[in-house]
Amino acid sequence: NHINSCIDSYFRSHICIDSHFLSDSNNSNESYIYNFICSESGKICESKNDKIRTNRNRNNLMSSKDFDITKNYNQLWIQCDNCYGLMYKKVEMNVCEECGHYLKMTSSERIELSIDPGTWNPMDEDMVSADPIQFHSREEPYKKRINSAQKKTGLTDAIQTGTGQLNGIPVALGVMDFQFMGGSMGSVVGEKITRLIEYATNQCLPLILVCSSGGARM
């Protein structure tokens, strides 16, 4: 549109020129128009290319900044799995402010949320799987999978057990953690649950188990 308007303006400014002059200067006029169009087109192309380069640089800068922000503040902010909204992690006890979706929680976060501060006493923290049958899978040896899960979560196995107070009431609590091999129930998990139940029975304590595992275990 810009080129067409320039051409129209050019013709209007020369419409009163006599035909003889026009015939003599026809070639030069065509050359002028051609050069004008080419120069304007070149400017437009250069402008578009500059904008594209600027946008790319801006996008790259923003993506790098977003990565740095995510890396530095991933303990403070969390993204909803349902509506993909970004929110402060501690707000509304891990419930999305936008859609009300319940966000994932680790066993440590659930204990911190449920038990009165300063009253949590863990049980059997040092109990780890010995892999007595030397179980091997096609993907990775069982022992290596256990070690990887321990490094990832900071836990010894897929459940934390202990005692504490819930609103001032003494309770026995066991919380499974899905991040530890999907809440896999190995020998350690079974033993810790059994010991917790026996302790709660002997001490006449209310027992709370938070299950986070596969369907068969549920």
Count of domains for the chain: 3
Whether residues 119 and 204 fall in one domain: yes
Asked if residue 70 belongs to a domain, the reply is: no
Residue with the bigger pLDDT between 126 and 1: it is 126
Task: Please determine, for residue 207, whether its predicted confidence score (pLDDT) is greater than 90.
Answer: yes
What CATH number should be reported for the domain holding residue 205?
3.90.226.10
Note the pLDDT tens digit of each residue in 126-152: 888 776 667 776 777 777 777 778 788
Whether residues 202 and 130 fall in one domain: yes
Whether residues 188 and 131 fall in one domain: yes
Asked if residue 218 belongs to a domain, the reply is: no
Confidence of residue 49 (pLDDT cuts 50, 70, 90): low
pLDDT value, residue 93:
73
- Chain mean pLDDT for the chain: 73
Confidence of residue 116 (pLDDT cuts 50, 70, 90): very high
Whether residues 43 and 111 fall in one domain: no
Whether residues 56 and 109 fall in one domain: no
pLDDT value, residue 198:
97
What percentage of the chain has pLDDT greater than the value 90? 22
CA distance 147 to 155: 10
99 lies in which domain range? 75-104
Q: What element of type H or E holds 78?
A: strand 77-79
Whether residues 95 and 53 fall in one domain: no
Whether residues 195 and 109 fall in one domain: yes
Task: From residue 1, give the alpha-carbon distance in Å to each of 33, 40, 42, 46, 48.
Answer: 15, 12, 15, 17, 16
pLDDT value, residue 19:
45
Whether residues 123 and 180 fall in one domain: yes
Whether residues 100 and 121 fall in one domain: no
Asked if residue 38 belongs to a domain, the reply is: yes
Task: Please determine, for residue 176, whether its predicted confidence score (pLDDT) is greater than 80.
Answer: yes
Asked if residue 142 belongs to a domain, the reply is: yes
pLDDT value, residue 20:
45
**What's the rounded mean pLDDT across residues 200-205?**
97
Asked if residue 136 belongs to a domain, the reply is: yes
Asked if residue 216 belongs to a domain, the reply is: no
Task: Please determine, for residue 123, whether its predicted confidence score (pLDDT) is greater than 60.
Answer: yes
Contact (CB, 8 A) for 217 and 177: no
Residue with the bigger pLDDT between 29 and 209: it is 209
Confidence of residue 55 (pLDDT cuts 50, 70, 90): low
**What's the rounded mean pLDDT across residues 187-192?**
88
Whether residues 176 and 99 fall in one domain: no
pLDDT value, residue 31:
53
Contact (CB, 8 A) for 155 and 104: no
Whether residues 86 and 121 fall in one domain: no
Structure tokens at 92: 């509304």
Whether residues 112 and 163 fall in one domain: yes
